[in-house]
């Protein structure tokens, strides 16, 4: 519409600002605004056939740096700190024509599957204000679900795009490791688990974003050949697929009837259209070992992060600088040896191989995105006993600290156990909104394919969309 001059960038920006001003006080999805700069940019915007010319967008307040703007990471340590450079991901968004309006709310350093930082407060779900939007891209999900902007930037280190997509009735793609432009300085986030992308309402937007954000970066540790136009925009119909279905929790916890119903609805849809569907009786991956290894990697990465922060601050960080959960992760990471880290990193390669073998038999894996619908606004409150131990975490041994992390995350991981493996294996995975609970809460299904096969996931998503299987939030 912008390129055909049906609407101007200024009209789009002003409309989004008006919506944000009206809705955000009740949603708490936006934590930083740059509206005056956006309006000025929209006024002098030069149309050059950019694929997203003049489209307003919000960045996630976590690791998406734009020079001269505040990026808090949901942390009190950074509440007044302005970025010194613009990273490659944000540069590409600007090159594509997006006009940045500000930043969306996220948990401190993105550690949680809900968005409720002490700095900014909880993000309300646009579908039900008494529920949390999910995390860590909860603010971005609420911005899109509420209709403030059509897309919002997001990131995913363990499910942080797909979980809020499920909770808010959106499309959430986590691309393959190495697919989307990254860096400088962040090519290997959490040993390659973290990727940046977006939350959307349409498959077309998801596909177009992926096509233009992808980059084969030879300077990065994970170069991946770009998908061609023919691959991402196929002319032929979807071929008969071999679909594997997994509904059991990888951490042996309960999976809600709604989550199972959502998966079986999609499975029957595949089957009724001539695709081969197989219900897996055994998970190819040890989910508990995988999750424990994930904590070891994230602990070490967090300890390294705070070492760099201390260098910038010129002082040691203290318990009062951060939330208790962050403190516990940081202190536990100080005890992990290089050999232990390397052992876990090698296990990630083994998991990737196990999933690659699965995809020799099956084209896609269908499984829940989450085990439960969106939780309450402030869920997962820690017990007094556990809180006391986390405060005194330096008194415990290395193994005891890791056990405390398991207990700290146990309830939230029980609700969201299905997403982490694909960050670890590097595969693409997408959450699609196909179901609602009796209370009207969205719940998605997750589809995963072999590494590099986003094209297949998007072709399936488009088919679901055309057949009106998707139940995208319409606010």
Distance CA 358, CA 365 (A): 9
Distance CA 67, CA 69 (A): 6
CA-nearest of 405, 409, 144, 361 to 245 is 361
* Active-site entry in 16, 60, 166, 401: 60
- Is 75 among the catalytic positions? no
Cβ–Cβ under 8 Å, residues 163 and 370: yes
Distance CA 225, CA 397 (A): 44
- Is 60 among the catalytic positions? yes
DSSP-based three-state secondary structure for 444: strand
Burial profile 112-126: b = 16 or more Cβ within 10 angstroms, e = fewer = bbbbbbebbebbbbb
For the chain, how big is the Rg over CA atoms in Å?
21
Distance CA 107, CA 76 (A): 11
Does residue 136 have a cis bond before it (omega within 30 degrees)? yes
- Is 160 among the catalytic positions? yes
Which tokens in the block code for residue 166?
A: 């499920």
Which tokens in the block code for residue 204?
A: 């077309």
* Active-site entry in 16, 117, 136, 140: 136
- The crossing angle, in degrees rounded to 10, of helices 384-391 and 324-333 is 50
427 CB-near residues (< 8 Å, 6+ apart)? 176, 352, 355, 448, 449, 450, 451
Q: How would you list the strands of the sheet with 99-104, edge to edge?
A: 30-33, 99-104, 56-60
DSSP string across 108-166: GGG-SSS-EETTTEEPBPSS-TTBB--SSSHHHHHHHHTTSSS-EEEEESSSTTHHHHH
Q: How far is CA 11 from CA 2, 45, 88, 96, 286, in A?
A: 10, 12, 28, 18, 52
* Active-site entry in 160, 249, 298, 332: 160
Cβ–Cβ under 8 Å, residues 319 and 391: yes
Distance CA 131, CA 128 (A): 6
Burial profile 434-446: b = 16 or more Cβ within 10 angstroms, e = fewer = bbbbeeebbbbbb
Distance CA 184, CA 86 (A): 9
Q: Which residues are catalytic?
A: 60, 136, 160
């Amino acid at each position: 519409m912008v390129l055909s001059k049906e609407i101007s960038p200024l009209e789009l920006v002003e409309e989004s600002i008006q919506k944000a001003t009206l809705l955000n006080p009740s949603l708490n999805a936006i934590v930083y605004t740059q509206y005056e700069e956006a309006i000025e940019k929209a006024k002098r915007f030069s149309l050059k056939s950019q694929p997203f010319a003049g489209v307003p967008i919000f960045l996630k307040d976590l690791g998406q740096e734009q020079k001269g703007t505040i990026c808090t990471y949901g942390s009190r340590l950074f509440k007044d700190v302005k970025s010194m450079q613009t990273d490659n991901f944000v540069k590409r968004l600007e090159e594509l024509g997006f006009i940045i309006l500000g930043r969306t709310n996220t948990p401190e350093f993105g550690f949680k599957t809900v968005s409720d930082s002490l700095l900014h407060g909880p993000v309300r779900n646009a579908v039900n204000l008494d529920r949390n939007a999910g995390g860590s891209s909860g603010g971005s999900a609420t911005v899109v679900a509420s209709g403030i902007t059509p897309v919002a930037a997001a990131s995913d280190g363990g499910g942080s795009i797909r979980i809020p997509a499920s909770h808010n009735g959106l499309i959430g793609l986590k691309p393959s490791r190495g697919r989307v432009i990254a860096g400088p300085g962040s090519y290997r986030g959490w040993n390659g688990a973290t990727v940046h992308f977006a939350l959307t309402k349409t498959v077309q937007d998801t596909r177009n974003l992926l096509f233009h954000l992808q980059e084969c970066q030879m300077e990065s540790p994970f170069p991946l050949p770009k998908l061609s136009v023919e691959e991402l925009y196929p002319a032929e119909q979807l071929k008969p697929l071999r679909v594997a279905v997994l509904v059991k929790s990888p951490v042996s916890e309960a999976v809600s009837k709604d989550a199972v119903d959502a998966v079986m609805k999609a499975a029957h849809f595949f089957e009724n259209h001539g695709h081969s569907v197989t219900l897996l009786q055994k998970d190819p991956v040890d989910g508990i070992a995988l999750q424990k290894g994930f904590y070891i990697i994230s602990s070490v990465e967090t300890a390294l992060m705070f070492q760099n922060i201390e260098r910038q601050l010129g002082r040691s960080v203290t318990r009062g600088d951060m939330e208790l959960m962050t403190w516990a992760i940081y202190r536990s990471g100080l005890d992990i040896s290089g050999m232990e880290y390397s052992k876990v990193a090698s296990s990630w390669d083994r998991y990737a191989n196990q999933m690659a073998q699965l995809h020799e038999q099956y084209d896609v894996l269908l499984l829940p995105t989450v085990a439960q619908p969106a939780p309450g606004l402030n869920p997962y409150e820690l017990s007094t006993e556990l809180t006391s131990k986390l405060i005194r975490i330096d008194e415990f041994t290395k193994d005891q600290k890791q056990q405390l992390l398991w207990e700290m995350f146990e309830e939230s991981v029980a609700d969201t156990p299905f997403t982490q493996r694909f960050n670890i294996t590097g595969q693409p995975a997408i959450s699609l909104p196909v179901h609602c609970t009796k209370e009207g809460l969205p719940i998605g299904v997750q589809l995963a394919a072999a590494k590099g096969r986003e094209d297949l996931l998007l072709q399936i998503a488009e088919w679901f969309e055309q057949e009106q299987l998707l139940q995208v939030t319409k606010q």
